Amino acid sequence: MEIETIKRLSRLFTADDIMTRAEYLKKADDIENANNLFNVYDVVPSPKKGNIKGYFYLKDKKFYELRMDLIVSQNTSILKLSNILSQKNFCFVIADCVIIGYIHYSDLNKAVTKIPLFGIFQTAERKLWDRINNKINEIDLLKIFDTNAVQNFIKKKEYNRRRNIDIDWNGIFTFPYILKLARFYGATDLTDPEIKLLKETRNKLAHSDRNLVNSLKEVQKLSDAIDLCQSITQN
């Protein structure tokens, strides 16, 4: 079920949703024209009219013909784009043998990107929770967390019981706690740095005022977090 959910999310949200369409791109025919645009753009497609054949690059102010490794299909899943963009900071989008758009890694900050990402995180969390929720007990909690944290868990559980909504441990633990519980019970082998990465990425997804990525290094982290979630859902 979880794998089918991820497949549907992959098909529904694609490069087409976050690219800048070719007709809206600022283009240049020569390096002089491109220089006038480099104060805003680090990649300037060329030529101005007709199909895009190459681009001028701010880093060395040279012209490059398009290479296959810089081109993705318009149907490329957003879930795959972070991996592609972690290797380079941009790509062009093709459909029917024509370049129809351009994606910079900062386009991953567009709101639509968060929809499939939140879905895959939620799916991973639910899968782990379903594996461990009937195993949790106070003795084990004290082996995993400090005393203050365990007391807070128990207080929340007791509060729910007094309000006649006793649903055992459901709703008591946040995402990073669930990850640590899952590791303790053998449902995953995530390391502390991996749990930290998933926690930080989940927090970015949950807050509309935070970018997912602000640098290529963060694109790689996002790609790693997606890989971890997919690994959880597939195991």
Q: Tokens in use for 115? A: 């929809």
pLDDT tens sequence across 152-183: 999 988 888 777 666 788 889 999 999 999 99
Q: What does the pLDDT read at residue 88?
A: 87
Enter the pTM of the model: 0.90
Q: What does the pLDDT read at residue 207?
A: 87
In 14-169, at which residue ranges do the beta strands (DSSP E only) sit? 20-21, 43-46, 54-57, 62-65, 71-73, 90-95, 98-104
Q: What does the pLDDT read at residue 168?
A: 81
Q: Do the beta carbons of residue 107 and residue 114 sit within 8 Å?
A: no
Pairing of strands 43-46, 62-65: unpaired
Q: What does the pLDDT read at residue 63?
A: 97
Q: Do the beta carbons of residue 212 and residue 79 sit within 8 Å?
A: no
Q: Do the beta carbons of residue 232 and residue 128 sit within 8 Å?
A: yes
Low-confidence ranges of the chain (pLDDT < 70): 1-2, 164-166
Q: What does the pLDDT read at residue 133?
A: 93
Domains of the chain: 15-107 (3.10.580.10), 112-234 (no CATH)
Q: What does the pLDDT read at residue 158?
A: 87
| H and E: helices and strands count for the chain | 10, 7
| DSSP code of residue 77 | B
Edge-first strand listing for the sheet containing 98-104: 20-21, 98-104, 90-95, 71-73
Give the 3-state secondary structure of residue 42. coil
| DSSP code of residue 102 | E
Q: Tokens in use for 71? A: 């081109």
